[in-house]
Amino acid sequence: MSLYEFKCEIPPAEAGAIDELLLNHGDGRWSVVEDVIVQQAWVIGVFEDEAESWHAWEALKGLGVNVKGSPALRPLADQDWRDSYKAHFKAWKFGRLHWVPIWQRDQFAVPAGDAVLWLDPGLAFGTGNHETTRLCVERLVGLAPRLARDARIVDAGCGSGILALSAVLLGFTSVIGFDNDPEAVRVSRENAALNGLQPGPDFFVADLVSGLRERQADLLMANIQSDVLIRFQRELIAAVAPRGTLVLSGILAHEQADVLQAFRAAAPGWAIEGRVLGEWSDVMLSRPAALS
C-alpha cells in the first residue's frame, strides 16, 4: 500500500521552534528535517491517504507554522519512505574526521591523514547534518587530545551511533552506546559493521536509568532533549568519573539557560559552559578531581 508524503519548506531559522511546536501538537506523523549545510529545512508528514494529508495540513496551518511556498503531496511507496532520508544527508567534516553517506563511498576521496565514518542512518537520528549532533561531535574532537586512549566513553541515546563510532575512529578503545529504541541500536551496529569496526562499540538497548547504572564515564555524551536531560540530571551527573566531562545537547537555544541553571544547582563545584549554534545549544560540565 502506498503512503503519501506531504512536504513544505520552512525558514531554517525557525526549524527549532517549529519542531518544538510539533512536539507540543502531539501529531507524530509530522517531523522537521534540516540540512544545516545548505541552510534549508522542511516540515514533512506521512499519511495513509490524500484526504487525511490535507486535513492534517489544515490543522498544522492553524498552529501558525510559517511556510515558504506551496506544499507538495506525492504518493510514497514503502521503499521510497525508507530511503527518503537520503536526500537530506550530506557529507561533512570537522578536523580530520569526515562523516559521509555510505552510498557515496565509491565517489568520495578521503584526504591523506584523515579518517572517515561511512554512515547509513536509516530512520535513526544522527547524520551530523543537525546542529545538535555537530555540537557533540565538535566537543568530542576537541576533548580527544586530553583523554587517554582507554578513557571510558559513553554515548547515551546513540541514535545512528555516530558519536560512539566517531570516538572509536579517534582511537578510543572503551566505548559504549545505548538507546531506548531497538531500531537505533540495530542501525548503530550496522554502521559499525559498515566501517569494519569489529569489535566496535558495545551497543545495547537501555534507558538513562538502566544504561547509566553503576557506570563511571570519563566522557559522557547525551544528545537528547532538554526536558529529559533535566529530569534525569541525577543519573547523568552520577555517571561522570572524577575529572570526567558531561556533554549535553538536543537543547534549543532559548532553553539553554534552564539547563545551565538546573545542572549548576545539581553539580556544585563543577565547571560549566555552553555554546549556541543556530537554534540549538549545548552544555558541558567538567567534574573536579574531588569536591571539598
pLDDT one-digit tens code per residue, 176-204: 999 988 888 888 888 888 888 877 899 99
Specify which residues 116 forms β-bridges with: 98
Specify the pLDDT at position 89.
Answer: 59
pLDDT one-digit tens code per residue, 108-122: 788 888 888 877 655
Per-residue pLDDT band at 81 (split at 50, 70, 90):
very low
For the cut 90, the answer to whether the pLDDT of residue 39 exceeds it is: no
Q: Which of 93-97, 161-165, 255-259 has the lowest mean pLDDT?
A: 93-97
Task: Name, in order, each residue with C-beta under 8 angstroms of 2's C-beta and a sequence gap of 6 or more.
Answer: 75, 76, 77, 78
Grid cell locating 227: 526536558
- Binding-site residues for S-adenosyl-L-methionine: 133, 157, 179, 223
pLDDT top residue among 253 and 81: 253
Distance from C-alpha of 274 to C-alpha of 185, rounded to nearest angstrom: 28
Listing DSSP states for 89-139 in one string gives ---EEETTEEEEEGGGTTTPPPPTT-EEEEE--TTSS--S-SHHHHHHHHH
- Binding-site residues: 133, 157, 179, 223
Domains, the chain = 3-88 (3.30.70.920), 92-286 (3.40.50.150)
End-to-end CA distance of the chain: 64
Other beta carbons within 10 angstroms of residue 258's beta carbon come to: 15
Q: Say how far residue 49 (Cα) sits from the centre of its chain.
A: 31
Task: Name, in order, each residue with C-beta under 8 angstroms of 52's C-beta and a sequence gap of 6 or more.
Answer: 4
pTM of the predicted model as reported, rounded to 2 decimal places: 0.69
Residue range 23-33: mean pLDDT, rounded? 72
Listing DSSP states for the chain in one string gives --EEEEEEEE-GGGHHHHHHHHHHHT-TTEEEEEETTTTEEEEEEEESSHHHHHHHHHHHHTTT---EEEEEEEEE-HHHHHHGGGGG---EEETTEEEEEGGGTTTPPPPTT-EEEEE--TTSS--S-SHHHHHHHHHHHHHGGGS-TT-EEEEES-TTSHHHHHHHHTT-SEEEEEES-HHHHHHHHHHHHHTT-SS--EEEE--HHHHHTT--EEEEEEES-HHHHHHTHHHHHHTEEEEEEEEEEEEEGGGHHHHHHHHHHHSTT-EEEEEEETTEEEEEEE--S---
For the cut 80, the answer to whether the pLDDT of residue 130 exceeds it is: no
Query: What is the per-residue burial (b if ≥16 Cβ within 10 Å, else e) of 123-138?
Result: ebbbbbbbbbbbbbbb
Residue in the structure block whose three cell numbers are 545538535: 132
